[in-house]
Structure 1
Amino acid sequence: MDEAYAVKEAQFLGKSVSYVCQNANGPCPLLAIANVLLLRGQLSLQGLVQSPGFVSAHDLMQAVHKRLLDTNPPLLNASELERLTQEKTLKDVVELLPSMLVGLDVNVRFHNITDFEYTVACAAFDMLDIALVHGWLLDQQDNQTMKVVGNKSYNELIERLVDYRGVLMTEEANETAPSVPASSQVETSTEEEAPLDAPKEQDEQEEAKPVSPLQSPLATHTAVLQNLSIDINSAPASSASGAVVSPNSSTSIPSPKKSPSQQTVQTMMKERHISDADAVGAATTLLEEGPILDEFFNSTASQLTYYGLVKLHEGIRERQLCVFFRNNHFSTLFKLEGALYLLVTDAGYLDEPSVVWELLNEIDGDTEYLDAGFRPVTSSEQQENILTQQREQRKQDEQALREARELSLTGKTEGSDVTRDPEHTMPSGGLFGTLANTDEDSLDVDYLLALKFQPDWSCG
C-alpha cells in the first residue's frame, strides 16, 4: 500500500497555499523539498489530493520529478561533455527520489552553513534551486578545535575517533600487561654475563618477553571496535592521568598523553607500514587530538551551535525558502524580517490550523509557535501536550545520535554487552544513510539510526 501524507491549508504572504505534513518517516528530505516548492508556487497538488485530505507518496514524488524535468531541459547549445554531464546527473537524481521519501546520505563540514560533501543528494537540491543548509558550525574563535577539525567532514572526523580509540586500546592493554618478575630479570642479566649459546639465549629472551595483546592490524582493529566501551555522555576515556575542563563545556577533557608507548608505535608501524618516526608522530597526534574531537561531538550533540545559529541568520537571504538539516531531519526554513522560521509539519498539529511556523532562535529545544501571519499562538492544553512530547522526542533523538556514534566507534551501545560485527561498526558513506535494506542483520549504523528517527519529530 502506498504511503500517504496529510495536506494542510494555510496563508503564506497573503496567498492560500497547501503544504504536506509528515508521516511515520518524520520530516524526510522529499517532504521538505516539496514544501519549499509548494510555498514558492512552483508545485501544485491540484488533482492529487484525495479524500480526506491526503496525497500519496507516489503522486508527491511524481510531482517533484516533473518539476525536476521542467527546470532542467536539455542543454541544446552546450558542449557534448556538458550535455552528457547534465543527463547523467539528472538520471542519478531521479533514481534517488524514492529513497528521499525516507532518508538521504549527507556528510557535513563544520565551517559554512552550506558546506556538505558534494554528492548526488546535493545535486538534487541544486537542480531544484533549493539551498540545503545546516547550523552545526564550529566557532572560529575556538582555535584549538579549529586546528583539529580543519576542513574535515563528519565522516573523516569519525574515522579519526576510531583511530584514536585504537591507540587508546593499545595503550591500555600495554599498561595492564604483566611485567617480567624481578627475579627473572636478575637471572637474565646474570646469564648474559656468561658465555651462552646464541639459540638458547634467544629462546629464553622470547619466553621472558611479554606477549602483545594486539599482534596484528586485524586484531588491533577488531579489538578497538568490539571491546572498547565509550560513555558518550561522560568525559572521554584516556589512559593519561589528570583532566582539564573545557571553557566552553562542563565536560572534562582528559589531558592528552604526549608520547605513545613502544607497543603502540610497533602496532601502528605494522598496521600502516610506516617508519618508527612516522608511527610516533601519528600516534602522538591522535592522543593529543582525540580528546578534543570527543569534546566537540559531545558539546554539539544537538547538531546546532550558537555560532551556527548566528551564521544561519547572516547567510540566509530575506524571504528565502530553503531546507534545513539537523539531527538527521530535513525541514523547510524561511526567513522573514530577520527572523528564522521552521514550517511545522508535525502530524500532531494537523488539527491546529493556527499553528504554522516555529521560531528558530534557540539551540536547546525551547520554541515558540506562530500562526500563518507569524504572530505568536496562544498555547492550548493540546498544544502544550504536543510540545512536551516533542521535547521528549528531541531528547531521545539526541540520545539515539550518541548511541549510534558509540556503536560506530566501538560496536557496542552504552550499557550493553551486545557487540556488532566490525563490518557494520565503521562509519558508512554519510551521516544519514539511505534506507533500502530491511534485513536487520545486514544493516549499517546509519540505517539503524534512521530507524530510530522514524517517529514523528518536530524541527527545533
Structure 2
Amino acid sequence: KMEDINLKLSTVDLNRDSNTETEPVTLPGIASQCGEDEYLVKTIEWKDKTIRIITQNVAICNVLFLRGDLDIQPPDREIVKFEYLVERLGDYLLNHASQEEVTPRKLEKRRATSEYDLDDALSILPNLKVGLDVNVKFDSIHGFEPTKELAMFDLFNVDLVHGWIADPQDIETYDTVVNTCKSYNHIVEYIVQADEINSRTNQQPLTLEDEEKLHQGFIATEFLNNTATQLTYFGLELLLNSIPIDSLFVLFRNNHFSTVYRHTDGLFMLVTDSGLVLERSVIWENITDIDQGASQFYNGNFKTRQEEDALNKDINADLE
C-alpha cells in the first residue's frame, strides 16, 4: 500500500556517520549493562550551568532538558529507562497543558494541522521509542503532512523543521516536486508509476500522458538521489535565515529527529552518540554543508578542541 511508504524516523541515533575523527573513549562499567530501553546520561556545560541530557536522540526530551523545563533525577543517575522519560514527558504535559492560554491563533493552528488533545499526546508518547512516521513537503521548513503525532510537538512548544527544500531557481524540479508531487509519499507514487510505465514500453506505444508521467518520475528520482541526506543548500540557507538566534528546535534529517541550536555562528546539532558519553569537549557538531563533510565538534562553550587547547595554553602562560 502506498500509504505505508512513509519516512520512518528512528528516535535513537547510534550510527550517524561523521567525517570528524574522535579519540577512542572507554565507557564506564555501567554502560555495558545498558539495556535496549535504557539510555546513558551525559553531563554537559550549557549557558554557564551544568545540565544532563540523554545520549540516545529522543530529541523532544533533550530540548526540554536544555530549556530547563525538565531535568533528570536523582543528580547521580547514570542511566534512565524509556518508561522514566515517558513519565516525565507526561507529567510535563499534565502540568503545562492546563496552564497554557489557548489563543485564537493557536486554536486555528491546531485545527489547520490536526485535531488533537492531551489524551492523544499521552497515548502517542510511547511511540517515541520506535519512531514516528512523517511525510515531508518540500516547499517550507515547516512543511509536514499534519498528523496527531507531529501535532504533539506543538503541545511541548517545540519547533519541528526540516531543510529538505527544493530550490525555486531549479524551475523544472521545483514544479515537479512541489507543485505536482507535493510531498514525499506522492513522489514515491510518481516514481512507482513511472517504473510501471517503463516496464511495459516494449508491449505498447506510449501515450503523451505516459511520456509526461515518465518524465515526472525521472525528475522525482533525480531529486531524491541528489538530496540523499534530506538537506539541500537552499534549505540550509532557509534554516539559517528563518530560525531566530538563541533558539532550540528539532530538525528532521537523515531519517532522524535531532536537537539543534541556532547559535550566532550557525547551526549546531547536539551530539548524542553513546560512545561519546565521557567526552566533555564533544557536545555539539556544526552543520555547515549538506553531508557533514566539513563539520567539527565543539564543547559546551562552542569552542573546538583546538580553540580550547589554545585558550588553556594562554591561561597557563599568563599564570607563569
Compared CA separation, residues 357 and 77, structure 1 to 2 (3 A):
closer
Alpha-carbon distance between aligned partners in 2 of 1:337 and 1:327, rounded to the nearest angstrom: 24
What aligned pairs does 1:104-183 form with structure 2 within 5 A after superposition? 104-151=132-179, 152-174=182-204
Alpha-carbon distance between aligned partners in 2 of 1:47 and 1:351, rounded to the nearest angstrom: 19
- Equivalent in 206, 210, 225 of residue 298 of structure 1: 225
Q: Does 1:8 align with 2:42?
A: yes
- Equivalent in 29, 41, 54 of residue 20 of structure 1: 54
The Cα shift of 1:361 comes to 0.7
Contact 1:7 1:49 in 2 (8 A): no
Alpha-carbon distance between aligned partners in 2 of 1:316 and 1:76, rounded to the nearest angstrom: 24
The Cα shift of 1:338 comes to 4.0
Letter in 1 for 2:82: A
Alpha-carbon distance between aligned partners in 1 of 2:103 and 2:285, rounded to the nearest angstrom: 44
Question: Where do 4+ consecutive residues of structure 1 move more than 6 Å?
Answer: 74-79
Letter in 1 for 2:274: A
The Cα shift of 1:90 comes to 2.0
Stretches of structure 1 lacking an aligned partner (at least 5 in a row): 175-260, 265-279, 380-460
Alpha-carbon distance between aligned partners in 1 of 2:186 and 2:166, rounded to the nearest angstrom: 15
Contact 2:115 2:148 in 1 (8 A): no
The Cα shift of 1:142 comes to 0.4
Alpha-carbon distance between aligned partners in 1 of 2:123 and 2:130, rounded to the nearest angstrom: 14
Letter in 1 for 2:150: C
What aligned pairs does 1:266-415 form with structure 2 within 5 A after superposition? 280-366=207-293, 367-378=295-306
Letter in 2 for 1:96: I
Alpha-carbon distance between aligned partners in 1 of 2:43 and 2:191, rounded to the nearest angstrom: 47
Alpha-carbon distance between aligned partners in 2 of 1:6 and 1:354, rounded to the nearest angstrom: 17
Which residue number in structure 1 is paired with residue 80 of structure 2?
A: 55
Three-state SS of the structure 2 residue aligned to 1:140 is: coil
Alpha-carbon distance between aligned partners in 2 of 1:118 and 1:135, rounded to the nearest angstrom: 17
Three-state SS of the structure 1 residue aligned to 2:224 is: helix
Contact 2:137 2:178 in 1 (8 A): no
Q: Does 1:66 align with 2:91?
A: yes
The Cα shift of 1:91 comes to 1.6
Three-state SS of the structure 2 residue aligned to 1:333 is: strand
The Cα shift of 1:291 comes to 1.3
Compared CA separation, residues 297 and 4, structure 1 to 2 (3 A):
same
TM normalised by structure 2 equals: 0.76
Alpha-carbon distance between aligned partners in 2 of 1:88 and 1:107, rounded to the nearest angstrom: 18
Three-state SS of the structure 1 residue aligned to 2:201 is: helix
Compared CA separation, residues 88 and 132, structure 1 to 2 (3 A):
closer
Alpha-carbon distance between aligned partners in 2 of 1:104 and 1:345, rounded to the nearest angstrom: 19
Alpha-carbon distance between aligned partners in 1 of 2:76 and 2:141, rounded to the nearest angstrom: 35
Contact 1:48 1:59 in 2 (8 A): no
Alpha-carbon distance between aligned partners in 2 of 1:164 and 1:89, rounded to the nearest angstrom: 40
Compared CA separation, residues 307 and 67, structure 1 to 2 (3 A):
same
| 1:122-154 deviations in Å (ceiling 9; x for gaps) | 111011111111111111100011111124110
Contact 2:116 2:151 in 1 (8 A): no
Alpha-carbon distance between aligned partners in 1 of 2:102 and 2:210, rounded to the nearest angstrom: 55
The Cα shift of 1:36 comes to 0.2
Structure (1 or 2) with the larger CA radius of gyration:
1
Q: Does 1:92 align with 2:120?
A: yes
Compared CA separation, residues 75 and 362, structure 1 to 2 (3 A):
closer
Alpha-carbon distance between aligned partners in 2 of 1:103 and 1:38, rounded to the nearest angstrom: 20
| 1:402-435 deviations in Å (ceiling 9; x for gaps) | xxxxxxxxxxxxxxxxxxxxxxxxxxxxxxxxxx
Compared CA separation, residues 77 and 19, structure 1 to 2 (3 A):
closer
Three-state SS of the structure 2 residue aligned to 1:91 is: helix
Three-state SS of the structure 2 residue aligned to 1:301 is: coil
| 1:86-115 deviations in Å (ceiling 9; x for gaps) | 995322221111111121111111111111
The Cα shift of 1:61 comes to 1.1
What aligned pairs does 1:232-251 form with structure 2 within 5 A after superposition? none
Pairs aligned (count)? 264
Stretches of structure 2 lacking an aligned partner (at least 5 in a row): 1-34, 308-320
Three-state SS of the structure 1 residue aligned to 2:300 is: coil
Compared CA separation, residues 359 and 170, structure 1 to 2 (3 A):
same
Alpha-carbon distance between aligned partners in 1 of 2:150 and 2:221, rounded to the nearest angstrom: 28
Alpha-carbon distance between aligned partners in 1 of 2:50 and 2:101, rounded to the nearest angstrom: 37
- Return the structure number with greater strand share: 2
The Cα shift of 1:311 comes to 0.8
Alpha-carbon distance between aligned partners in 2 of 1:350 and 1:333, rounded to the nearest angstrom: 18
Alpha-carbon distance between aligned partners in 1 of 2:100 and 2:39, rounded to the nearest angstrom: 35
Alpha-carbon distance between aligned partners in 2 of 1:113 and 1:102, rounded to the nearest angstrom: 24
